[in-house]
Amino acid sequence: MTTQTPQKMEFQAEVKQLLNLVIHSLYSHKEIFLRELISNASDAIDKARFESLTRLELLGDDATFKIRVEADKDKSILRISDNGIGMNREELVRNIGTIASSGTKKFLEQLTGDQKKDMNLIGQFGVGFYAVFMVADKVVLTTRRLGESGSAVRWESSGDGAYTMEDADKSSRGTELEIHLKEEDKEFLEDWTIRNIIRKYSEYIAYPIALIDKDGKEEVLNAKPPLWRRSKSEITAEQYHEFYKHISHAEENPLAWSHNQIEGALEYTSLLYVPGKAPYDLYYPERKHGLSLYVRRVFIMNDCKELLPNYLRFMRGVVDSEDLPLNVSREILQKNAVIQKISQATTKKVLNLLETLSKEDAEKYASFWKEFGAVLKEGFHMNWENLDELKRLVRFESSRMQADKYRGLQDYVVDMKEGQKDIYYITAENRKAAEGSPHLEVFRKKDIEVLYFTDAIDEWVAQSLTEFDGKKLVNAAKGDLDLGDLSKEEKKQQKEAKGQYQKFMKDFEEKMSATLKEVRVTTRLAESPCCLVADEGDLGANLERILKMTNQKVPDSKRILEINPDHPIIQKLNGIFEADSTNPKLADWYGVLVDQALLAEGSPIPEPAAYVSKVNKFLAEVLGG
Ligand code: ADP
Ligand code: MG
């Protein structure tokens, strides 16, 4: 019996904020509270089942897992109970009284004011329990933790900022919720309504959900086997869509899926979805993987990292194996040969699925690429296994395409100019910077396509993606540019100019030796007087910028200045140098040209104030000051 007085506790500040929002702002889609509570009950049973795998005695004579839903119309109470893991006092305070703070903060930041979107966020961010306060003016939760002999706990709250806890009489394990419905939400007591909502959201829940009528008769609402176990020919596209939405809390349809029922040496089923939209936390280091692992229909775990490499973590779906033992743990999975084989085959399946999508529906593939391309590109890093597949899947923006349209390497090669040997790319902060770069002048003049590597990760992609279809990938801003037969004219000019500008270049080089490695005649420029290029083995300007941004030490590497012998500034400057090689202004002019080359490629200049004062001096001279 319980004699002690209830212990009164305050909700954590973030929870209060959230409750306030749930109670006062979210009125549409109230029905999702039921989805959230049933999903919690199912999670709780998963955990109980998992804990008891090795200690079956924990379950006692209550070994049939079940979720029960019962409406008491006279009292306006909806009861939902499960024989899952339950909670003790500490767990109640931690799980219901507080929320992992970073998650809540992000949730609150992401709120859009659009109710439909905001409700969807509630599912994604794992603050689902509080949805019950959309329909309840009081909730009583009674719970007993699996395997603990202490007292059960009764928790009660009206969602108004505080809750109470006290000992309770409940001898069976699990959680029972007593939801006191608000006057205007009594519809949730109707059998018909409850049945529909549960069918809609909880069809694939792995445990029976029983609706109890007023005579105590049970009706199981989710009697179908899980979707992935049914034969492919019996499943409609709509059912595939629904299942995807169910497992990923998504609103949109998936872009593509692949359902594989594998028999032979290994037996397993996989249902793999390419999502339509990226989750908010795709790039967070703790981002979860999207595949769940089942063994002979029994749920083992969500976000099973062992099933797919990290660069495919955006995929959603299920793998159900016949061969793994039920009591697999994460530690076992890491070394398990079965899982490694499944993982290799599943990786191939996903890459094939993506390739098929790219061939059959370019528009959908582009939308996939926009959402997930940068993640897929992580696959180039330290990965030789599926490099060929990845090369066929990778897309970039390019000088030939308008913004947001993507180009694959295969298409690039098909459209190469006659006489073009290599594939050209430029790395830059964004499309604008790439387009403005002086390094592309000769490419524009000759109408040669250049791929834009504008994601930060592209610098690393470039290190693995050095060849495609027998053609080298060449950085347009690095090394000695040789366009082969296409630059015959430039090479001839370069040779002539070399002799003519020899002494001038030497002087330039000497005076700027602190910043420059070399000064030479260009084959890349058409309109600009000069540009900076990196030596073959050195870091490029873009990589340097990225490394500095992430506070990494960047080795000092001097750049090469290329001058355009056709440009009037270079020609005049050479004239001045030849007339008087001791002219004291030469050093200033050289300095300004180097600074301008930095600005043109989007790099910072080392001493902006000195640059401005030099330019002002020149302006004053020109203006007759
Ligand atoms: P989420 O389910 O995403 O973790 P919720 O707000 O739905 O977020 O639930 C918060 C936590 O409360 C759960 O993670 C779980 O630990 C606990 N919980 C909720 N319902 C139950 C239940 N029926 N049985 C046991 N624990 C539960
Ligand atoms: Mg939940």
Tens of pLDDT, residue by residue over 437-449, are: 999 999 999 999 9
- Give the separation between CA 506 and CA 317, rounded to whole angstroms: 64
Q: Which of 13-17, 135-139, 164-168 has the lowest mean pLDDT?
A: 13-17
Going by the DSSP 8-state scheme, the letter that residue 9 receives in this structure is E
pLDDT grade, residue 116 (50/70/90)? low
Report the pLDDT value the prediction gives residue 121, as an integer from 0 to 100: 62
- Give the separation between CA 98 and CA 112, rounded to whole angstroms: 23
Report the pLDDT value the prediction gives residue 287, as an integer from 0 to 100: 67
Supply 592's token pair.
Answer: 């300004």
Supply 365's token pair.
Answer: 């593939």
Q: How many CA atoms lie within 13 A of 514 on its CB side?
A: 5
The answer to whether residue 326 scores a pLDDT higher than 90 is: no
| Ligand closest in space to the Cα of 67 | 1
The answer to whether residue 157 scores a pLDDT higher than 60 is: yes
Nearest to 424 by CA among 370, 488, 485, 478: 478
Q: Ligand 1 within 6 A of 128 CB?
A: yes
Report the pLDDT value the prediction gives residue 117, as an integer from 0 to 100: 67
Q: Ligand 1 within 6 A of 82 CB?
A: yes
Mean of pLDDT values over 30-50: 89
Query: How many other C-beta atoms can be found within 10 angstroms of the C-beta atom of residue 35?
Result: 21
- Give the separation between CA 322 and CA 300, rounded to whole angstroms: 13
Which residues on adjacent β-strands are paired with residue 40?
Answer: none
| Ligand closest in space to the Cα of 99 | 1
Instruction: Report the chain's terminal Cα–Cα distance, integer Å.
Output: 99
- Give the separation between CA 119 and CA 25, rounded to whole angstroms: 11
Give the DSSP letter string of 520-568. Answer: EE-SS-SSSSEEEEB-TTSPPHHHHHHHHHTT-------EEEEE-TTSH
Amino acid type, 506:
K
The answer to whether residue 492 scores a pLDDT higher than 90 is: no
- Name the residue at shortest CA distance from atom 20 of ligand 1: 40
Q: Which of 18-22, 106-110, 317-321, 360-364 has the lowest mean pLDDT?
A: 106-110
**Candidates 129, 247, 249, 281: which one to mutate for ligand 1, based on the most atoms within 8 Å of Cβ?**
129
Q: Ligand 1 within 6 A of 356 CB?
A: no
Q: Ligand 1 within 6 A of 301 CB?
A: no
The residue with greater pLDDT, 25 or 492, is: 492
Mean of pLDDT values over 283-309: 82
Closest ligand 1 atom, CA of 177? 23
- Give the separation between CA 270 and CA 394, rounded to whole angstroms: 25
Report the pLDDT value the prediction gives residue 251, as an integer from 0 to 100: 85
Residues 6 or more apart whose Cβ sits within 8 Å of residue 343: 306, 307, 308, 309
Percentage of residues in the chain having pLDDT higher than 70:
93
- Give the separation between CA 11 and CA 371, rounded to whole angstroms: 37
Q: Ligand 1 center to residue 374 CA distance, Å? A: 33
Which residues on adjacent β-strands are paired with residue 559?
Answer: 516
Q: Is 90 within 8 Å of 49 (Cβ atoms)?
A: no
Residues 6 or more apart whose Cβ sits within 8 Å of residue 71: 77, 78, 79, 188, 189, 190, 191, 194
Q: Ligand 2 center to residue 55 CA distance, Å? A: 26
The answer to whether residue 471 scores a pLDDT higher than 90 is: yes
Give the DSSP letter string of 387-438. Answer: HHHHHHH-EEEETTS-TT--EEHHHHHHTPPTT--SEEEEE-SSHHHHHH-G
**pLDDT, tens digit, 9 for 90 and up, residues 185-204:** 999 999 999 999 988 777 77
Q: Ligand 1 within 6 A of 97 CB?
A: no
3-state secondary structure 251-291: CCCCCEEEEEEECCCCCEEEEEEECCCCCCCCCCCCCCCCE
Mean of pLDDT values over 577-582: 96
pLDDT grade, residue 512 (50/70/90)? very high
| Ligand closest in space to the Cα of 85 | 1
Q: Ligand 1 center to residue 48 CA distance, Å? A: 13
Report the pLDDT value the prediction gives residue 381, as an integer from 0 to 100: 84
Mean of pLDDT values over 305-331: 88
Give the DSSP letter string of 284-327. Answer: STTPPPSEEEEETTEEEESS-GGGS-GGGTT-EEEEEESSS-TT
- What angle in degrees, to the nearest 10, is found between the helix axes of 488-511 and 568-579? 50
Q: Which of 111-125, 362-376, 484-498 has the lowest mean pLDDT?
A: 111-125
Q: Ligand 1 within 6 A of 142 CB?
A: no
**pLDDT, tens digit, 9 for 90 and up, residues 257-276:** 999 999 999 999 999 999 99
Mean of pLDDT values over 445-471: 94
Query: How many other C-beta atoms can be found within 10 angstroms of the C-beta atom of residue 100?
Result: 14
- Give the separation between CA 170 and CA 150, rounded to whole angstroms: 11
Closest ligand 1 atom, CA of 47? 25
Q: Ligand 1 within 6 A of 123 CB?
A: no
Query: ∠ CA(513), CA(589), CA(620), 5° rounding?
Result: 150
Mean of pLDDT values over 332-343: 90
Ramachandran bin of 254, using left for φ above 0, alpha for ψ from -120 to 50, beta for the remaining angles: beta
Q: Is 129 helix (H, G, I), strand (E, B) or coil?
A: helix
CA–CA distance from 623 to each of 332, 584, 613, 616 (Å)? Answer: 78, 20, 15, 10
Query: How many other C-beta atoms can be found within 10 angstroms of the C-beta atom of residue 178?
Result: 19
- Give the separation between CA 200 and CA 35, rounded to whole angstroms: 9
Report the pLDDT value the prediction gives residue 1, as an integer from 0 to 100: 47
Strand 316-321 vs strand 291-295: parallel, antiparallel, or unpaired?
parallel
**Candidates 95, 173, 176, 249: which one to mutate for ligand 1, based on the most atoms within 8 Å of Cβ?**
95
Which residues on adjacent β-strands are paired with residue 317?
Answer: 272, 291
Q: Which of 90-104, 442-456, 530-544 has the lowest mean pLDDT?
A: 90-104
Q: Ligand 1 within 6 A of 133 CB?
A: no
Q: Ligand 1 within 6 A of 570 CB?
A: no
Greatest alpha-carbon span in the chain: 110
Query: ∠ CA(272), CA(283), CA(313), 5° rounding?
Result: 20
- Give the separation between CA 507 and CA 501, rounded to whole angstroms: 10
Q: Which of 8-12, 248-252, 456-460 has the lowest mean pLDDT?
A: 248-252
Nearest to 380 by CA among 395, 360, 400, 398: 395
- Give the separation between CA 516 and CA 493, rounded to whole angstroms: 23
Report the pLDDT value the prediction gives residue 581, as an integer from 0 to 100: 95
Q: Torsion angle of alpha carbons 472, 475, 479, 480, nearest 10°?
A: 70
pLDDT grade, residue 128 (50/70/90)? confident
Supply 132's token pair.
Answer: 């019950």
- Name the residue at shortest CA distance from atom 11 of ligand 1: 95
3-state secondary structure 140-189: EEEEECCCCCCCEEEEEECCCCEEEEEEECCCCCEEEEEEEECHHHHHHH
Q: Ligand 1 within 6 A of 440 CB?
A: no
Supply 295's token pair.
Answer: 């063994």
Going by the DSSP 8-state scheme, the letter that residue 619 receives in this structure is H
Highest average pLDDT, of 50-64, 165-179, 318-332, comes from: 165-179
Highest average pLDDT, of 301-310, 343-352, 373-382, comes from: 343-352
Going by the DSSP 8-state scheme, the letter that residue 514 receives in this structure is T
Strand 174-181 vs strand 209-212: parallel, antiparallel, or unpaired?
unpaired
Average pLDDT, the chain: 90
pLDDT grade, residue 100 (50/70/90)? low
- Give the separation between CA 152 and CA 150, rounded to whole angstroms: 7
Report the pLDDT value the prediction gives residue 101, as an integer from 0 to 100: 45
